Amino acid sequence: MFSIRIGLTVATALMAGALGVAALGLAGTAGALRSSDASFLDAISAEGIGFDSPATAISNGHYVCAALDDGVSLPDLGSEILTYTDLSEHQAAVFVVSAVENYCPEHTDLFE
């Protein structure tokens, strides 16, 4: 579950559009984990998404991927995030898009 401040009302259309944009430019080098973490934290910070610690935010980003791996739908994931956070719809979309872009690009097809 989400322990950072994220308030997300992820509408399928919003998520689809946002994730379509996020599918552009994915890293894949040995140093990608470190730069993926920095990229993820930069993206969510730029949207005003606060977090208790970078490790917690990164963990929640990986949670998004694990949920998608388990077959959770975007609307259900969005509902869960919104239940446990205080993000706007836009911030929630940015969080999910950034998580997918940086940690599980194999899920970008969910936004097409």
* pTM for the model: 0.71
For residue range 57-111, list pLDDT tens digits in order: 999 999 999 999 999 999 899 889 888 999 988 899 999 999 999 999 999 999 8
C-beta atoms surrounding 109 within 10 Å: 10
Q: Rounded distance, CA 52 to CA 91, Å?
A: 16
Domain membership flag for residue 4: no
Domain membership flag for residue 85: yes
Residues 5/50, Cβ–Cβ less than 8 Å? yes
- How many separate domains does the chain show? 1
Domain membership flag for residue 6: no
* Domain containing residue 37: 12-107
Cα torsion angle, 101, 50, 59, 110, sign: negative
Domain membership flag for residue 7: no
For residue range 37-65, list pLDDT tens digits in order: 999 999 999 999 999 999 999 999 999 99
Domain membership flag for residue 65: yes
- Counting every residue written for the chain, the total comes to 112
